[in-house]
Amino acid sequence: DQDIAELDPEVAASIDAEQRRQQDGLEMIASENHTAVAVMQAQGSVLTNKYAEGYPGRRYYGGCEHVDVIEQLAIDRLKALFGAGYANVQPHSGAQANAAVMHALIKPGDTILGLNLAHGGHLTHGMKLNFSGKLYQVVPYSVDEASCTVDMDEVARLAREHRPQLIIAGWSAYPRQLDFARFRAIADEVGAYLMVDMAHFAGLVAAGLHPSPVPHAHVVTSTTHKTLGGPRGGIILTNEADIAKKLNSAVFPGQQGGPLEHVIAGKAVAFKIAAGEEFRARQERTLEGARILALRLLSPDVMAAGISVVSGGTDVHLVLVDLRESVLDGRQAEDLLAQVEITVNRNAVPFDPRPPMVTSGLRIGTPALATRGFGTEAFTEVADIIAETLIAGATSGDDGPDPAVLAGLKGRVQALAAAHPLYPG
């Protein structure tokens, strides 16, 4: 058995290069994180060889005694972490978790109410090219133009008018908390199921730093790789036995064949980490970093460049930068930050006048840096670097910012990266 570097030097070289990219730059894509070495060890283990269709104790394959232990650990830890009665840890991704819930609870042609993609929703909440938009009648709800927060009166009005079978609360690009109790009251009033997709903020919920949707929703879905910091994957939670039964059969055999037991082992490890004090402190730093960034981007020198913050701040792990009033667009801003080795993604802001490939926004998140050990001082420095980079871009002429200015900013990023080694040792 050959080492990958010997057997496949091309793939090995790209893995090494990606590790250097992650180490040398600063990762601020809000949906990303740096998972633990122990999680990667679980994922890179012999578990990848094992078929285990079914659930622990009820498999369709032999030799499942060890993966049964692992999957049951993942289930039990997940239930304890979020205080849920039932958990399914098999969805291969967040999108598959959402698909399984819809498969379990509603029929093609039924109506779903979800946050408009252009206002921060996710593809699986009813985008027209996604399965959710093709199989179901979609009624999107929006944010209020002045506050840029979800307008619950509009959600109630749309629910009464369209009588959806499923209401989805959750987001991919939204800087505030949702009112889960109000969502549930609206769902109950119209006889709909309420699904909360907490993919982005699950880590904050696990740490007790964000209200939990679990007591309110019929079903909660999540990814495991964002704020939660685990391997790439999906999960589903519920408190109701009859719903749990439907969910299990929607995942397998409804949607998937063999579960990825190596990923499930990584999930089990991640849930153990997420139950600890260190994880809570990390989520606190995540929130603090986002608040520091929002405050810096609301200061007068940034505002003077036509740059602002959607909703005037943040309650979560991300900041949405509003470039609608700036000559700098989302694509240019993303490229400029890439030049100083900060990775972010451009993102439409509500009521964005620019096209989706360009956008007037940036989504900037702090989970990966918090995992790297960033605290108040380092987050203050990175917020300042971002502010100065954006100001340089917004106030320079057609030739772009002075290369010497960008080189100086990149040097500061490299110093921060070097002071916070990734995967040390």
Give me the active site residues, please.
Answer: 51, 53, 197, 223, 226, 232
| Comparison of 54 and 170: residue with beta carbon closer to ligand PLP | 170
Say if residue 397 carries a ligand binding annotation: no
Say if residue 328 carries a ligand binding annotation: no
Instruction: Provide, rounded to whole angstroms, the least separation between the CB of residue 95 and ligand PLP.
Output: 3
Helical residues (DSSP H) of 25-62, grouped into ranges: 37-43
| Comparison of 95 and 413: residue with beta carbon closer to ligand PLP | 95
Helical residues (DSSP H) of 168-276, grouped into ranges: 180-190, 202-206, 241-251, 261-274
Instruction: Provide, rounded to whole angstroms, the least separation between the CB of residue 172 and ligand PLP.
Output: 3
Among the listed residues 320, 333, 321, the one whose alpha carbon sits nearest the alpha carbon of residue 396: 333
> What amino acid is encoded at 383 in this protein?
A
d(CA 206, CA 214): 11
Say if residue 123 carries a ligand binding annotation: yes
Helical residues (DSSP H) of 275-375, grouped into ranges: 277-297, 300-303, 330-339, 367-371
| Comparison of 220 and 416: residue with beta carbon closer to ligand PLP | 220
d(CA 272, CA 306): 44
CB 383 within 8 A of CB 297: yes
| Comparison of 115 and 328: residue with beta carbon closer to ligand PLP | 115
Q: Which helix (H) or strand (E) holds 138?
A: strand 137-141
The torsion of the CA quartet 194, 200, 205, 206, rounded to 10 degrees, works out to: 120
| Max Cα distance, the chain (Å) | 67
Instruction: Provide, rounded to whole angstroms, the least separation between the CB of residue 32 and ligand PLP.
Output: 10
Instruction: Provide, rounded to whole angstroms, the least separation between the CB of residue 114 and ligand PLP.
Output: 10
Instruction: Provide, rounded to whole angstroms, the least separation between the CB of residue 332 and ligand PLP.
Output: 23
Residues found near ligand PLP in the complex (CB under 6 A): 31, 93-95, 98, 122, 124, 170-172, 197, 199-200, 223, 234
Say if residue 117 carries a ligand binding annotation: yes
| Comparison of 36 and 195: residue with beta carbon closer to ligand PLP | 195
**Cα three-residue angle 128-129-135, rounded to 5 degrees:** 70
d(CA 138, CA 328): 33
Q: Which residue is nearest to ligand PLP (CB)?
A: 94
The annotated binding site for (6S)-5,6,7,8-tetrahydrofolate is made up of 117, 121-123
